Amino acid sequence: MTEKNSTSFTDLVKTYGSQLLGFIRGRVKKAEDAEDIMQDVWFQLSRLTNIDDLENVGAWLYAVTRNRITDNYRKRKDEPLGDLLGEGDEESFPIRQLLLADDANDPELKLFKDIFWDELMKALDELPENQRSVFVMNELEDKTLQEIADMTQEKLKTIISRKRYAIKHLRKRLRGLYEELNY
């Protein structure tokens, strides 16, 4: 690195170090994980050949930090969202209830929901248009299957079949995320 970049790097650590660490600590449980993520972010910044080429260094740092937090969250298999499940039968706890839960004071839940919605949207994009639209209208827009059939002028059985295929694909596609959370 050149002298200018060294100075810039040092200034960036001074300027953003405590802010980023606080941001990370608010989203991960373990202090060790927060420090590891912080170290990864600084390492990635140090690998840039010219920091001055970044238009908004702060935005770049926070984007990298969010990605590292997400990576850390996805790697954790030994700490499922057990606190949210509490005592009782885990099988009876519907994922829909978890996704609709208030995440205002729970950064881990917010991160899980963000990851889930991101993966759901990717999986929906893989579906044929007719299956995707039936699923979206029914599950996200709260239209009945009969309403969808009437709108599209398709037979109700065709709409039911499309929804079934969409659900089958989504279950298969999201199973890894489900298992990763040990939920």
> So what's the pLDDT on residue 157?
94
- Answer for the pair 73, 115: CB distance below 8 angstroms, yes or no: yes
Type of residue found at 3 = E
Neighbours of 170 (CB within 10 A): 20
> So what's the pLDDT on residue 161?
93
> So what's the pLDDT on residue 154?
93
Walking along the chain (183 residues) 10 residues at a time, the average pLDDT comes out as 52 84 81 87 82 78 84 58 40 51 70 80 90 87 89 93 91 75 49
Which helix H or strand E contains 17, and what residues bound it? Answer: helix 3-25
Distance (Å) of CA 165 to CA 123, 127, 131, 141, 150? 13, 9, 7, 18, 20
Rounded CA-CA distance 127/54 in Å is 37
